[in-house]
Amino acid sequence: MTHSRLDRREFLKGCCATAAIGAAGPSLLFSQEAQAAVNSYDTVVLVFLRGGMDGLNLVPPLAGNDRGHYEEARPSLNIAASGAYGALPLTLANGTATGFGLHPSATGLRDIWDAGKLAIVHSCGMPTVVTRSHFDAQLFLDLGTPGNQGAGTGWMTRAWATQPGITGTETMPLLAVSNRQPANLLGATQSLAMPSPTDFSLNSGAWQWQQFRSGMPAGTKGLNETLTGLWNGQTGIELGGLRADNALRVIGAQGYTSTLPAAWPTTNFARQLWTVAQSIRFNLGLRFATLDLGGWDSHDGQGTAGSGYHLFQNKIAELSQALTAFYNELNATGEMGRVTVIVQSEFGRRVRQNGSGGTDHGYGNPLLVFGGPVNGRRFYGQWLGLDPQVLSPYFGDIPVTTDFRRVFSELSIRRMGNNKLGTVFPGYAGYSPMGIFQGSDLVPQYTAAAPSPMTARLPANPQPAYGSSLESSRAIRARERDRDHWFLRMLAALGLN
């Protein structure tokens, strides 16, 4: 038997590391301090509207047969085509009407559209998977593997792992403005989950013991300074403590502020975007940022637009105002030229309203894309319309005609210079650009990295066949002998026999 010993110093390290990790968050990074500079790289910001945003409420049809079908399907939930609470018409650059508008609370998004920097992809989602489960749909999208929840890593994690031009000195390449690491960053070792930079510190215990402060006797140390001197070993807990300490120092060295600029709304979502905006300005090497805005599951009392309380009216106002403040902030100083924002939800809502004044889980949905590199003020994708006969094969839902991975792949190739689509989105093929983003095209690489000898030779493991429990003992021994032979061949291939 092997006995382990833990001396007093190691015990203190373990206790302090546990406290540091608990205070700093579930995902920590380590790197050097950053110097402010103009970024020479692109940043992707993913805003996930969790709960199933109603695309027909955000982007309603305004004219033609679709308008009639829309009003018939939603007699009390449709957004008016005109009037005081009418939709905001969307026109092309030459003034031609598109036949669609934005919810009247989305004035900021309409302004970004008019500036030519907002594009909308019709009927986007997962064409290979139909699910009305929030949890399944969100996980499929976060992992980038529709129909498969066993990927083990998020699509952003794989995108960063295959990103060309990585130097290894990036301070904070992956950021989740959250109190936990989301599934799209699953498996990332350089990601940071940080709900608020001003709260990202070790501040437990008595205030005067937390760190050295002016007026304290010379040579004294606080908790933070004491911890720094403990992380000099190679045990797992020491390495974890070192990363936690470095993460705290990186964030502490930046000029983060919780004070919002004057023109910004004061919602929590706006504060999260302000964290992203500051992180971009500090030149921390940020390539992927992700944050959520929930509250879109509207089975009853959804409302429309007008005076009084309307669920989606308030949510869309919150979304539009914060995104517009983010855009204007970075656009005024030039950073927006290398920033792309994607607004995604797991699925849309049913075309027809239900008996509770709401809408149930649907399928296809608009995808919003805006930023400096976007060829905006136009719709992309295929819109099949709202004719009930057209929607009948799709159970009355708006179908998915554009795979979300096609949009993300174009972003990866044209803006990030990453054509390793087979790794970023395993199982996806047949990509062709839609023209949403500025940049150069690359030949997609669909072949992922070669599997290891271990995984390449794993035998099939099907579910037990009916009646297999009645096999003879001879058949069972033969199967076990075959398994042993496979194991020996695997060891030989790995050079371990």
CA terminus-to-terminus distance, the chain = 26
SS3 239: helix
Residue 470 has pLDDT above 50, yes or no: no
Question: pLDDT (tens digit, 9 = 90+) per residue, 387-427?
Answer: 999 999 999 999 999 999 999 999 999 999 999 999 999 99
User: Mean pLDDT of all residues in the chain?
Assistant: 82
pLDDT band at 201 (very low <50, low <70, confident <90, very high): low
pLDDT at position 354 is 96
pLDDT band at 462 (very low <50, low <70, confident <90, very high): very low
Token pair for residue 300? 């009853």
SS3 110: helix
The least confident of 105-109, 241-245, 325-329, 386-390 is 241-245
SS3 212: coil
Question: pLDDT (tens digit, 9 = 90+) per residue, 256-266?
Answer: 899 999 999 99
pLDDT at position 28 is 37
Question: pLDDT (tens digit, 9 = 90+) per residue, 476-491?
Answer: 455 546 655 555 565 5
Q: Whole-angstrom Cα distance, residue 353 to residue 339? A: 37
The least confident of 197-211, 406-420, 451-465 is 451-465
Residue 496 has pLDDT above 60, yes or no: no
More confident residue, 134 or 16: 134
Q: Whole-angstrom Cα distance, residue 30 to residue 37? A: 20
pLDDT at position 5 is 36
Most confident of 6-20, 217-231, 351-365: 351-365
pTM (2 d.p.): 0.79
Residue 36 has pLDDT above 50, yes or no: no
Residue 202 has pLDDT above 80, yes or no: no
Q: Whole-angstrom Cα distance, residue 124 to residue 347? A: 9
The least confident of 253-257, 269-273, 351-355 is 253-257
Within the chain, how many helices (H) and strands (E) appear? 15, 11
pLDDT at position 255 is 84
Across the range 445-474, mean pLDDT stands at 43
User: Which of 336, 413, 437, 380 lies closest to 112, judged by CA?
Assistant: 336
Measured between alpha carbons, how far is residue 125 from residues 317, 323, 381, 392 in Å? 24, 22, 11, 19
Across the range 275-284, mean pLDDT stands at 95
Across the range 149-162, mean pLDDT stands at 96
pLDDT at position 159 is 98
Measured between alpha carbons, how far is residue 27 from residues 39, 118, 246, 291, 323 in Å? 24, 32, 12, 15, 26
Residue 324 has pLDDT above 60, yes or no: yes
pLDDT at position 241 is 58
pLDDT band at 307 (very low <50, low <70, confident <90, very high): confident
Residue 17 has pLDDT above 80, yes or no: no
Residue reference for tokens 């669909």: 446
The least confident of 58-62, 137-141, 150-154, 198-202 is 198-202
More confident residue, 30 or 257: 257
379's enclosing H/E stretch is strand 378-380
Question: pLDDT (tens digit, 9 = 90+) per residue, 76-133?
Answer: 999 999 999 999 999 999 999 999 999 999 999 999 999 999 999 999 999 999 999 9
More confident residue, 260 or 16: 260
